[in-house]
Amino acid sequence: MLKRKILTVIFCLVSTTFALPNISTAVDKKEEKNTAYGVEINIAVEELSQELSKDVAEGMEIVVIDFTDYEGNITKFGKFLTEELIAKLSQNKNLTVMEKALFQKTLKERGLSLSDLASSSSMTRAGMLIGIDAVCKGVITDLGEQFKVNVRLIDTFTNEIIASSEVSVVKNEAVLSIMDIKKESFLPAKTPDPLQSEDYLGIKIASVATQLSWDILKEEKKRVAVIGLRNSESKVDELGDYLSDELISKLHQTGKFKLVERKFLDEVLKEQNLGISTIIDPETAVRLGKILGVEAIITGTITDLGEFLRVNARLISAETGAISATATTRIAKEKISVPSVPTLPEKGKPEKEKPVSAGEREGLRGEYFNLAPFNDNPGALPDEPTTVRIDNSIDFDWGEGSPAPNISADYFGVSWEGKLYAPITGTYLFRIAHNDGVRLLIDNKIIIGYWHPYNYNDHKVNLFLEGKQWHQVKVEFFEIAGWAKVELLWRQPGKDDFEVISSSYLKTKGR
C-alpha cells in the first residue's frame, strides 16, 4: 500500500546573517503600480470589492461589519468605507450581502452582538443560527498622509481567510471631510519619494512571502497560521504586529496558502497558556499543528541592525523539525515613513483619562432612599434622599443587609448620577447585573430599563460613544425584599473582557 506523507511545515522567522537573491515577482510589480500617495476612495472600494469577490463560491451569503482602526475603534471613516463596500459587493450576483441593520437585529434576538464576532466561537454560532457563510472585517491603519486598509473575508465555520485585499487611501479633501477635519488644519509634509511610503514595506514583506512559497505548488495550498513577528527581546511589538498582518495578506495573495484568522489563533494560544510571543520549537509546533489543524505555523523575528531591519525566515517541518527553506529581506529605516515604525499605537493600552475639574470628584453621587412598601415598582424615586455619599463605582452585593446607614434592608432605592468618560470612539458594550429593578441612562436616554422586580438578571446593550468626551450617566435601582445586588460593567472597544467601570472614568457633577 502506498502511503502519502503530508509534509507539515513551520515558517519560523529567525535572526540570521545570510541573504538570499532578490526575487522579482508579479506581487512586487503589482505593488509598484500603486502610487506612494494612495488612491481615491471610490477606486479603493472598487479594488477591495474585486479582490474579495475573486475566490468566493456562488451563492455565498456574507455580512460586512464596521471597519475598525488599529486599536479596534469604529471611526466615521471606517463606517463610511464599510457602507461603500457593502453597496459595491451587493452588485455582485454571486454574493448575497445581508443588510447590516437586519444582521444586528437578528444577532440581538439570538443573544449576540457585533462585538461578539471578535470571538471565533461566537462567529461560528452566528453563522449556524443566521445562515451566514462568511464575515467581512477590515482594519484601517493611519500612516500619516494615507490610510492602509486591510480587509478579510472569514469563513464562519472554519475561521479560514477565504479572501483578502489591501489598499492605501490618500487623505484628500473628501476623506478629511468625512473625518470632520478642516483642510487647512491638515498640513501634509512634502511629497515623499516613492520608497518613503508604506508600499515599500508592502513590497519587502511580499518578497518574504514569495520566497517562502517558492517551491509550493498552488494545487498543494497549505493551511497555515501566523503568529506575530518577534523583536530581539522575543516580544511582538507594534511593528511586529503590523508586519504580521501584512504578511498574512501577502501570503494569501500568492494563492498557495489557506490562512487561519489571527483572532482564532490567539484564542487557542491563550487556552494552551501560550502567547503571541511564544518561540516555536519542534515540540510546540507539532502540538499547535494538531490543535489548529494546520500544516504550517508562521512566526518570527525582526532584528534591528542600526540603519536597517533584518527579517529572516525558515520553513520547518512540524513532524521532523528539519529546515526546508529560508527567506530574508532587509528594510532600510530611512525609507519607511515615520507613522509606520515603530510608533503604531499599542493594542489595549488605555489612553490617559481626562482629569477631574475643580469642584468635582471621582466616582458618582449616590442618593439612597427608604421607600414605602409597593407591589410592582416604586415609580419615580423621591426628591429628598435619606443618605447621600460618593461611590467610587457601582459594584455592590448587599445580600440581605442594608446598603447604607439609616437605610432599611428592604424597600429601598438608589440613584447614582454623574459623568462617564469614554477614552476612545467606538461601540461600548454595557452590562448591568441586578436584583431587583434597574435603569441605566446615558446622555439622558434610557439604554437599559427593567423597572420591575427580578430575582437576578444580567442585561447587556451596545452603545456607540464619541471618544475623549464626558457623557451624562445615571443609574437608578430599587430593592423590594431578599437579596440585593447591582453591578455596572462595560467592555471597551477592542477589548475582550468586561470590567467594572472604575472611578477613573467617573466623576460627580460638582455639587
Q: Is the pLDDT of residue 60 over 80?
A: yes
CATH of 37-191, one of 3.40.50.1360, 1.10.10.10, 3.40.50.10610, 3.30.1360.120: 3.40.50.10610
Assess contact for 256 and 223: CB atoms under 8 A: no
Spatial separation of the C-alpha atoms in residues 502 and 395, rounded to whole Å: 9
pLDDT, tens digit, for every residue of 418-441?
999 999 988 899 999 888 889 999
Class of domain 8-24+193-345: alpha beta
Spatial separation of the C-alpha atoms in residues 67 and 149, rounded to whole Å: 9
Residue among 437, 483, 445, 477 at smallest CA distance from 461: 445
Confidence band, pLDDT 50/70/90 cuts, at residue 413? very high
Spatial separation of the C-alpha atoms in residues 158 and 322, rounded to whole Å: 29
User: What separation in angstroms does the CA of 114 have from each of 124, 261, 267, 459?
Assistant: 13, 17, 18, 16
Give backbone dihedrals phi and psi of 381, rounded to 5 degrees, phi first: -70, 155
- Give span(s): CATH 3.90.182.10, the chain: 364-507
Greater confidence, 39 or 319?
39
Assess contact for 21 and 56: CB atoms under 8 A: no
Confidence band, pLDDT 50/70/90 cuts, at residue 117? low
Assess contact for 42 and 28: CB atoms under 8 A: no
Spatial separation of the C-alpha atoms in residues 424 and 70, rounded to whole Å: 12
User: What separation in angstroms does the CA of 172 have from each of 37, 76, 146, 376, 383?
Assistant: 10, 15, 9, 58, 54
| Residue 159 identity (one-letter amino acid) | N
Spatial separation of the C-alpha atoms in residues 433 and 207, rounded to whole Å: 52
CATH of 364-507, one of 3.40.5.10, 3.20.20.190, 3.90.182.10, 1.10.10.350: 3.90.182.10
In this structure, the strands spanning 296-304 and 308-317 are antiparallel
- Give span(s): CATH 3.40.50.10610, the chain: 8-24+193-345, 37-191
Give the SS3 label for residue 104.
helix
Assess contact for 178 and 76: CB atoms under 8 A: yes
* Res 369: pLDDT: 94
Q: What is the DSSP string of 241-306?
A: HHHHHHHHHHHHHTTSEEEE-HHHHHHHHHHTT--TT----HHHHHHHHHHHT-SEEEEEEEEE-S
Q: What is the pTM of this model?
A: 0.49
Task: Please state, rounded to an integer, the average pLDDT across all residues of the chain.
Answer: 75
Q: What is the helix (H) or strand (E) element at residue 31, kind and residue range? A: helix 26-33
User: What separation in angstroms does the CA of 136 have from each of 46, 59, 65?
Assistant: 15, 16, 6
| Selection from 261-265, 457-461, 467-471 with the highest mean pLDDT | 467-471
* Res 441: pLDDT: 94
- 56-70, 137-151, 169-183, 450-464: range with lowest mean pLDDT: 169-183
Spatial separation of the C-alpha atoms in residues 122 and 56, rounded to whole Å: 22
Spatial separation of the C-alpha atoms in residues 169 and 146, rounded to whole Å: 5
- 178-182, 194-198, 371-375, 383-387: range with lowest mean pLDDT: 194-198
Mean pLDDT confidence for 185-192 = 41
pLDDT, tens digit, for every residue of 461-498?
888 998 889 999 999 999 988 888 999 999 998 888 88
Rg of the chain over Cα atoms, rounded to whole angstroms, equals 26
Assess contact for 157 and 127: CB atoms under 8 A: yes
